[in-house]
Chain A
Amino acid sequence: MPKSQQNQKKLSKTEVGLVRRVGQIDNPILRHFIKKFSLNDGDSMILGVILDLTDQMKTPIKTTYRSIADSAGLQIVEAYHSIQSLHRNRIIEYKPSGDYVHISFKEIDESIEEISLAYRNAKKIKLLEEQVAHINRRKYVPADDLFDIMYPMIGRLVAAKIAEALRLMVDYINERLESSLSWRMWLYRIESFRTKVPLAEIILRESLPYYIDEIFLIEKKTSLLLGHSSRTGGENIDKDLVGGMMAAINDFIRTSFKAGKSGFSELHFEQSKIMIAESVYFYAALVVNGAPDIGFMEAVSELVSTVHVLYRRQLKNFNGSMAELAGIEKPLAEFIEKTNAPRAADSGNRHYQKLKIAGAIVLAALIGLITWKGYSCYRDSRLESLIAERIETVLAPYTHDVEVDIDGDTAMVAGTVDSRTTAEKISGIIRENGGLKTVENNAVITDYRSVLRLRDEMKALDVKLQMFQLVAVRQDLEKIVIQFPAGSARVDEAQRLQIRRIYEILSPYPAIHVDIVAFNDPTGGIEVNRRLAQGRMEAVSGSLKGMGINGDRLHIMDFSPNILESDPRFAEFRDRRGIMLFAKFED
């Protein structure tokens, strides 16, 4: 008994299940092999499993008979025989290796794309056959009904053909335009790349903007207006009359000039045109301003088909009743809105729109740049802190005094280290952080302990110098007693000269502060002296501020009638009367 017959016999137990499963297969390659080699169900199942395992013939596999059999729901021996059978049909190569088997596909003449295309076409044909069979099953189909059923399909086919022809034209224009290198062309190219719309179509759109003003749906037989929609929604003119006259003119042209009954015809006037698309029962007259683009006719045909499908029963027996056509204007309004949406804005404000888009792009770029810069600074600063912390943790004290500055992917080290080893350790620590490509280590190797010692000495000297400065300033200031006329806190020329001198003493030493103290003659009442002293001190302070001395350095002391006795600092100025300033470092 031939092996294929053996297979059939062995498969009989699972035949029903297998047939059902094979019938469900939606794999064009598997179907191709089944058809071409008339494979039985068992072989088909095994082949399906192998196709899955090899990623649709692409990858050779190493597997076991058991694995394949389990996946197919068959016995091991059945899987073995099926693999043999597939090998004999020169579909696969196989090579046993111990418990395993190597399987790969032989090369075939057809490409996988060709097989897929053939499969898709076969499905379409099958669908068409089913539709024809459905019509055949009906005992009687009136010619009108048959045409009604077929009309949308025919319409779409015609529209598709027109669109295809126009696409070919677009391709042709594309070829011509591709050679151009003007800056505008580059703009169009960018737009084409961005929107995935062919270059030629972009150019046509840019060059030929359009929008729909009105749509009239006119019943063919009676020429009555079935529906109307307008871009502006204006109701100034009677649409029934316009529709009627439009129909009359259309009839006149048809009859007078023996025009055919083709789907489209046009009437031009100035910038507008009336484009007419016909259905079986009505025609749609579209008042279009400008030059419609490539997809327009296809879209209009689609609109006509939609209305036809929705209302064909009512239109077939139209008796003038408008109630039966309720809602017929909705698809018209939607069509106008959909078609005009991107263009209405274009038509009036095209340049403004472009400007807005350009502005938005620049703004977005700026925001992006600032954000990126801000983030970079934040990232660099954070990384610097992390590295500094790591250096302090890892390295011993008094071996380094460095600063790490990070800019992008570069780290720069400046300062001093006690040895080359320390410098290398610092570089190593920096490199531990991913993302830094370059380390510029400019740290100077030096006797670090000597540096520290010198630095401390320098600090001590600096303090001493400041003390000397303070003493010098204080001595200079103590020579000046600003005196006011009795009962006055007004700064006149005499006081201004003294304050000017104080300013000259203080201005070179911004670290030095002053206490402003008032020494008063005890004659007169305490309150009177307090107000007078306070006024004079504030006058001096105000004048100094006016000359440029920072107000934070000027400290007005509370008035005390017994200050000379109570504060030993001022003991030596017992004989003074007036405003004095005493230098000090900040508290």
Chain B
Amino acid sequence: MGDSDFKYKVVMLGDIGVGKTSLVKRFVHDIFDDLYLTTIGVKVSKKNLVLNDDGSAKKCDMLLWDIGGLTDFNVMIDQYLQGASGAVVVADLTRMATVSVLVPLVAQYRSVNPDGSLVIAFNKCDLVSNDDFSALGGSLESYIRPFEARFNAGVFGTSAKTGENVESMFTCLARKISGFGRRPA
């Protein structure tokens, strides 16, 4: 089937407007209209990655399920989470309320996929500066790092606008899912 060695289902989770769709659009192969997000609550895109596994290159296809506005599709979310090997849970650094949603979202994902891999994307990092986090500990890094241990997940400050950390975030997730080597080929 095609020329990929592995295929994985990855779900994109996060509150409305955190930038899930923008993150997906930044690098993935996309053929469907965003209209699907508002009609059936999901749009599938594909990200091709090549991972280095003990010297050999492995081609992986990540089928990214961009799950739309959660509040409108609560009925559907468990169904869409079924069979996901990994998840990208996204929060908006400019809206702290979206960070608080991370906890129930991760819990929901874990309940459906206990062995699934996970990364947390703190998006729109281009819109904030370290000064904004002085009250919370001094820097962006110091703010997001504790979530790594809390959710047992990789955390990344990302920007769909500049592309910062987007590629590395998806690659990290693919490595976690596949168990392949640490460095991209």
- Do A and B truly interact? yes
Interface segment out of the listed B41-49, B90-98, B142-150: B41-49
- Chain A residue numbers with a CB within 8 Å of B84 are 222
Q: Which of B2, B5, B80 contacts A239 (CB 8 A)?
A: B2
* Residues from 5 to 49 in B contacting A, C-beta threshold 8 Å: 5-9, 29, 31-32, 36, 40-46
User: Once the chains bind, are B85 and A255 in contact (CB under 8 Å)?
Assistant: no
- Chain B residue numbers with a CB within 8 Å of A244 are 9, 44, 46, 63, 65
User: Once the chains bind, are A241 and B32 in contact (CB under 8 Å)?
Assistant: yes
User: Once the chains bind, are B80 and A248 in contact (CB under 8 Å)?
Assistant: yes
Task: Say yes or no: is B108 at the interface (Cβ < 8 Å to chain A).
Answer: no
- Chain B residue numbers with a CB within 8 Å of A225 are 1, 7
A254 to B29, alpha carbons, bound, how many Å?
Answer: 27
A256 to B77, alpha carbons, bound, how many Å?
Answer: 12
User: Once the chains bind, are B79 and A322 in contact (CB under 8 Å)?
Assistant: no
User: Once the chains bind, are B85 and A248 in contact (CB under 8 Å)?
Assistant: no
- Chain A residue numbers with a CB within 8 Å of B41 are 252
Task: Say yes or no: is B76 at the interface (Cβ < 8 Å to chain A).
Answer: yes
User: Once the chains bind, are A241 and B1 in contact (CB under 8 Å)?
Assistant: no
- Chain A residue numbers with a CB within 8 Å of B36 are 245, 248
User: Once the chains bind, are B32 and A329 in contact (CB under 8 Å)?
Assistant: no
Knowing A239-B2, A248-B65, the reply to whether A322 touches B7 (Cβ < 8 A) is: yes
Interface SS of B by simple majority: mixed
Task: Say yes or no: is A223 at the interface (Cβ < 8 Å to chain B).
Answer: yes
User: Once the chains bind, are B5 and A321 in contact (CB under 8 Å)?
Assistant: yes
Q: How large is the interface on B (under 10, 10 to 19, 20 to 34, 35 or more residues)?
A: 20 to 34
User: Once the chains bind, are B1 and A222 in contact (CB under 8 Å)?
Assistant: no
- Chain A residue numbers with a CB within 8 Å of B100 are none
Name the residue among A226, A245, A254 with the largest chain B CB count within 10 angstroms.
A245
* Residues from 133 to 177 in A contacting B, C-beta threshold 8 Å: none
A368 to B6, alpha carbons, bound, how many Å?
Answer: 63
Q: Which of A222, A237, A255 contacts B79 (CB 8 A)?
A: A255
Nearest A residue (CB) for B59: A322
User: Once the chains bind, are B32 and A251 in contact (CB under 8 Å)?
Assistant: no
Q: How far is the CB of B73 from chain A (nearest CB, A)?
A: 9
User: Once the chains bind, are A320 and B85 in contact (CB under 8 Å)?
Assistant: yes
- Chain A residue numbers with a CB within 8 Å of B65 are 223, 244, 248
Knowing A227-B1, A241-B29, A248-B65, the reply to whether A320 touches B45 (Cβ < 8 A) is: no
A241 to B36, alpha carbons, bound, how many Å?
Answer: 13
A254 to B82, alpha carbons, bound, how many Å?
Answer: 14
Knowing A221-B83, A240-B63, A255-B75, the reply to whether A320 touches B42 (Cβ < 8 A) is: no
Knowing A245-B44, A248-B65, A252-B76, the reply to whether A322 touches B6 (Cβ < 8 A) is: yes
A322 to B8, alpha carbons, bound, how many Å?
Answer: 10
* Residues from 68 to 114 in B contacting A, C-beta threshold 8 Å: 75-76, 79-80, 82-85
- 21 A-B pairs within 8 Å (CB atoms) are namely A219-B83, A222-B84, A222-B85, A223-B63, A224-B7, A224-B63, A238-B46, A240-B7, A241-B44, A241-B45, A244-B63, A245-B36, A245-B43, A248-B43, A248-B80, A249-B40, A251-B80, A252-B79, A322-B5, A323-B5, A329-B1
Instruction: Kindly list the 3 A-B residue pairs having the minimum CB-CB distance in the complex, ordered from nearest.
Output: A222-B83, A244-B44, A221-B83
